[in-house]
Amino acid sequence: MMTACVSPNSLPADETIALGAVPRDLPLAEMEADLRVRRGTPGFHLTNLALFSAGFSTFALIYCVQPLMPVFSQEFGITPAQSSLALSATTGLLAFAMLIASSLSEIVGRKPVMIVSLLASSLLMMACTFVESWHQLVFLRALAGITFSGLPAVAMAYVGEEMHPDSVGLAMGLYIGGSGLGGLGGRTIVGVLTDFVSWRSGLFAVGLVGVVCALILWQTLPASRNFKRSAPSLKALASSFAGHLRDGRQRALLLQGFLLLGSFVCVYNYTGYRLMEAPFSLSQGAVSLIFGVYIVGIFSSAYIGDLGSRLGRGPVLCGSMALMLGGVLLTLVPELPIIIAGMAILTFGFFGAHSVASSWVGANARHAKAQASSLYLFAYYLGSSAIGALGGVFWLHGAWPGVVTLLAGLLLVGLVVAGWLAWSGASHRQMAPET
């Protein structure tokens, strides 16, 4: 019997790049299995350049307002809890809007949704520089939460569909590493320009960076090869979401995402207030530079994400959560070098835990990966809004020890959830191989 064969030379140039190194004259079934991108191939490098740029700009645009919270309090005469709305309004609407955007990407495709999302969000950031009142700024930031929704979950789904299973952990880690660098870059640009020019010029500069990253994403991200377009159907979409929520491990991962980003954002929200007060009395620029500990996230997301693929996601997730808890407790010591060390440990643990948990969501999903990712990120960004704002109440009544008390309790819950996931994952592997 003759076996159907396909030669890579017959494929368009962009498909050949996406395939990477595909042996010639493979049987059709084997060729299809190799459509997913493996590490070390040109397609892998090109895809990760695009996704790294997307992750960088996303975190830069969302979190660049974080070091400005004390500035907003002074300029607009608002409390720390009110000032946190500059971030919480964005992440709160982002959480809900992602459920719609991810479903839209199942119909129109991944790449178009990501490009439009990033470009619109960048332009809205530039528009924020022209506001005349606090309410106008919060409105534009809330609107940006809607436009942002087409990128995070869709990017995670793209990685899950286009990357080979042995390369998913590293690819997701590199994408999240770009997020870490973006968080650092956005804060640093805004902090330095605020000291020397104004906070408005800082936000405009970050918006301009976002436009450049949107162009990079458009030019370098290969078109999807494994995406299967879905027909528009509200009933089918609702059924798909319900299927994900019936999975106990997916529900645990949603809770983990809620606790992860909520705790992490809360630390960075109120560290600026703490360090700009006595006895530290640091400037806005100096506080932004301390946020440079974000750089450890670039390393930890790729390293721990890959480690989770090799050693098992459960144990690595438990270790990352323990690091976060230890880092938060270390910040109680009233010495600046120890506070910075505690933040670095927290950051290392957070990016590692997020890399493992987010890749686990896609691996555990049996269908509609963009919707599974959007549910995880719904909980993830909802945690940012809810816990980030709640931290303002604890800061008002208990200062930094009050914030740490809140976070220590939440991270202990997260550690228990991670332990259950590790046990559940081990039990699952005894019955069937984990994908």
pTM above 0.85, yes or no: no
pLDDT tens for 327-364 read 999 999 999 999 999 999 999 999 899 889 988 887 77
How much is the mean pLDDT over the chain? 82
pLDDT tens for 136-187 read 999 999 999 999 888 887 887 788 777 777 777 777 777 877 887 887 888 8
CATH of the domain at 360: 1.20.1250.20
Q: 359 lies in a domain?
A: yes
pLDDT range class, residue 4, cuts 50, 70, 90: very low
Q: 353 lies in a domain?
A: yes
Q: 168 lies in a domain?
A: yes
Q: 20 lies in a domain?
A: no
Q: Which tops the pLDDT comparison, 92 or 122?
A: 122
Q: 38 lies in a domain?
A: no
Q: 148 lies in a domain?
A: yes
Please give the angle made by the CA atoms of 238, 240 and 245, to the nearest 5 degrees: 95
Looking at residue 34, its pLDDT comes to 54
Q: 33 lies in a domain?
A: no
pLDDT tens for 54-70 read 889 988 999 899 889 88
Domain that holds residue 261: 45-218+247-430
pLDDT range class, residue 229, cuts 50, 70, 90: low
CA-based radius of gyration for the chain: 21
16: pLDDT strictly greater than 60: no
pLDDT range class, residue 232, cuts 50, 70, 90: low
Looking at residue 134, its pLDDT comes to 95
How many distinct structural domains can be found in the chain? 1
Q: 25 lies in a domain?
A: no
Distance between CA atoms of residues 294 and 181, nearest Å: 7
- In the numeric block, the tokens 């973006």 are attached to 182
Q: What are phi and psi of 377, to 5 degrees?
A: -75, -25
193: pLDDT strictly greater than 60: yes
